[in-house]
């Protein structure tokens, strides 16, 4: 599937991986719509990429449907839906609340469900399409002090695998990208939280986190974006229900 002229919707498009994806897909000739809760970051990405910014809370199914209607008015039917919006809370399991667990599930799982379900009719009508979830290595293994995030990303991977089988004969593929620690504002906030709770320096926290990656570095947003672009290529047409790790060999 050539991306040129196709409509790509990316949630969490205002920063980090989502912003990198907007740039990569726009450069490849795609018509990009980016969703996010705050207009200003979306507008900054839009100014660089030409993407259409649409304010939307992905945990609200009605808001997602309305956002896609707005996006369709400019770019037409959705051909690629990238569920990238996510959030992580670092806290010992014993101190977590049920509300915090539900919040992790809402953003990282329900947000994927809402976007994919809203985009699915367009892809079924077209007889082809790509659904991509930006999960995490936390969807494939455990990490301490982020139990809610790990549980949510495992659920997102499970949703990916189930839907891939359900849609296998429709021409729509469903896959998950599972990066390790990516150098984004989300990671910066996590490092700040660890610093405030442990007293470690930022340098020491970053060094400890990089140890998980055999390459000894953080994954770059552009690397995840390029992987998403490849999943949309003709050559990836038989890649379905897959969890593509981008982790330097960690998983």
CATH among 3.40.50.1100, 3.40.50.720, 3.40.250.10, 3.40.50.2000 for 7-181+219-246:
3.40.50.720
- For residue 1, pLDDT over 80 is answered with no
Q: Is 149 among the residues known to form the active site?
A: yes
- For residue 95, pLDDT over 80 is answered with yes
Q: What is the mean pLDDT of residues 156-167?
A: 98
According to the model, what pLDDT value does residue 221 have? 96
pLDDT class of 191 with cuts at 50, 70, 90: confident
Using DSSP bridges, classify how beta strands 7-11 and 80-83 pair: parallel, antiparallel or unpaired. Answer: parallel
Residue from 47, 14, 7 nearest 31 by CA: 7
Element (H, E) at 244: strand 243-246
Query: Are the C-beta atoms of residues 153 and 176 closer than 8 Å to each other?
Result: no
Q: What is the mean pLDDT of residues 63-72?
A: 98
pTM of the predicted structure, to 2 decimals: 0.94
Q: Enumerate the domain spans of the chain.
A: 7-181+219-246
Active-site residue, from 25, 149, 181, 218: 149
């Amino acid at each position: 599937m050539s991306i040129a002229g196709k409509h790509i919707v990316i949630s969490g498009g205002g920063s980090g991986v989502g912003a990198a994806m907007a740039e990569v897909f726009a450069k490849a000739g795609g018509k990009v719509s980016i969703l996010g809760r705050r207009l200003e970051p979306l507008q900054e990405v839009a100014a660089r990429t030409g993407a259409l910014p649409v304010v939307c809370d992905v945990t609200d199914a009605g808001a997602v449907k309305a956002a896609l209607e707005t996006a369709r008015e400019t770019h037409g039917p959705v051909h690629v839906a990238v569920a990238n919006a996510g959030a992580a809370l670092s806290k010992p399991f014993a101190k977590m609340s049920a509300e915090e667990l539900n919040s992790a599930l809402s953003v990282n799982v329900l947000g994927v469900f809402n976007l994919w379900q809203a985009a699915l009719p367009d892809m079924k009508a077209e007889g082809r399409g790509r659904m991509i979830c930006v999960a995490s290595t936390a969807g494939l293994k455990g990490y301490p002090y982020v139990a809610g995030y790990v549980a949510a990303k495992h659920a997102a991977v499970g949703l990916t695998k189930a839907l891939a089988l359900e849609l296998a004969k429709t021409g729509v593929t469903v896959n998950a990208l599972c990066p390790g620690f990516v150098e984004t504002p989300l990671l910066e906030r996590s490092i700040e939280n660890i610093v405030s709770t442990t007293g470690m320096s930022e340098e020491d926290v970053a060094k400890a986190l990089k140890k998980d990656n055999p390459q000894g570095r953080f994954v770059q947003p552009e690397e995840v974006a390029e992987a998403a672009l490849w999943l949309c290529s003709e050559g990836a047409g038989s890649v379905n229900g897959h969890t593509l790790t981008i982790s330097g060999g960690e998983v």
